[in-house]
Copies of this chain bind each other. A is one copy, B any other.
Amino acid sequence: MLKSNFQGFIGAESDYKDANVVIYGAPFDSTTSFRPGARFGPAAIRNESFGIETYSPYQDKDLTDYNIFDYGDIELPFGDTRRSLDMIKEVSAEIIKDNKIPVLLGGEHLVTLAQVEALKDKYEDFYIIHFDAHCDLRQEYLGTELSHAAVIRRCFDLLGKDRIFQFGIRSGDRPEFEFSALGNTYMNKFNFDTLDDIVAKLKGKKVYFTIDLDVLDTSVFSGTGTPEAGGVTWLDLLDAIKKVCTLDIIGIDMVELAPMLDASGSSTALACKTLRELLLAIS
């Protein structure tokens, strides 16, 4: 008797019960101000993952040796931002409750807020490491506080000062940079030069890890709504991921792949490979 053979991310073949890590997608991009399309990110990562291998020569590990579950995507109400966030938060909360690490695939960066809220309900005390081209520290953007351009500011509202460490930042308006410079967040502009210090400092702490893939240079990652020249290479990012994942990671997200914007498929392939390395690094 035939069974459907639909598949999730390559190598994510565990059932939910046995899984230590749970991947899920939030295909949301309604607050994107420039070019939408990040909603198609999670499906593209899943579909195109069969172009990569489960084995990583960078870490000499194989996804098939770990217990990873892929839930698929949440069906979200486009245009109703708060309700979308609540639905993401609900799934995240269930994963967290079951003591698994949630790995959220965006979608635009605002989805991070939902997962940070869910974690905040469980953990009093944690830190955020944030890789991005953009500050995302606006108080509001185009009149709304629930915006991709304000998501880290909203996390700041939840966690408070000295909790957020930003790397690779190279775009924002002047007040955002000033907000950080006042000591509200730690910001390593342009690259990862001080990452070693921060990782050393956060040893033993609980850490949430949010990666906006546009931290990468546009040369390797053009498939994103707001491409910013002058970013890091993929090998830089891989190295940074391995360092961060030596910490006590309580949740992860990887956001802002807009696959249709890079018709060559390279951006999607890179996102697949990055997810593999992330999953292996925390396993």
Chain A residues close to B by CB (< 8 Å):
1-8, 16-17, 22, 24, 29-37, 39, 43, 47, 50-55, 57-58, 62, 69-73, 75-81, 83, 91, 94-95, 98, 110, 141-144, 146-147, 169-174, 177, 189-190, 217-220, 222-223, 226-230, 234-235, 238, 261-266, 269-270, 273-274
Contact A5 B172 (CB under 8 A): no
Copies per complex of this chain: 6
Partner among B71, B91, B95, B189 whose Cβ is within 8 Å of the Cβ of A4: B71
Contact A31 B78 (CB under 8 A): yes
Contact B230 A238 (CB under 8 A): yes
Closest to A29 in B: B36
Could you say which residues of chain B place their CB within 8 Å of the CB of A270?
A: 218, 227, 229
- The SS class assigned to the A binding surface is loop
Give chain B nearest CB distance to A62 CB in angstroms: 6
Give A34 to B52 CA distance when docked, in angstroms.
9
Partner among B47, B141, B171, B172 whose Cβ is within 8 Å of the Cβ of A43: B47
Give chain B nearest CB distance to A281 CB in angstroms: 15
Contact B261 A261 (CB under 8 A): no
Contact B265 A31 (CB under 8 A): no
Contact B226 A220 (CB under 8 A): no
3 shortest A-B CB distances, which residue pairs? A31-B79, A219-B219, A222-B264
Could you say which residues of chain B place their CB within 8 Å of the CB of A58?
A: 170, 230
Give A39 to B220 CA distance when docked, in angstroms.
25
Partner among B54, B76, B229 whose Cβ is within 8 Å of the Cβ of A234: B229
Contact A217 B218 (CB under 8 A): no
Could you say which residues of chain B place their CB within 8 Å of the CB of A274?
A: 229
Contact A265 B51 (CB under 8 A): no
Give chain B nearest CB distance to A121 CB in angstroms: 18
Closest to A6 in B: B6
Closest to A274 in B: B229
Give chain B nearest CB distance to A76 CB in angstroms: 7
Partner among B5, B71, B83 whose Cβ is within 8 Å of the Cβ of A5: B71
Give chain B nearest CB distance to A33 CB in angstroms: 5
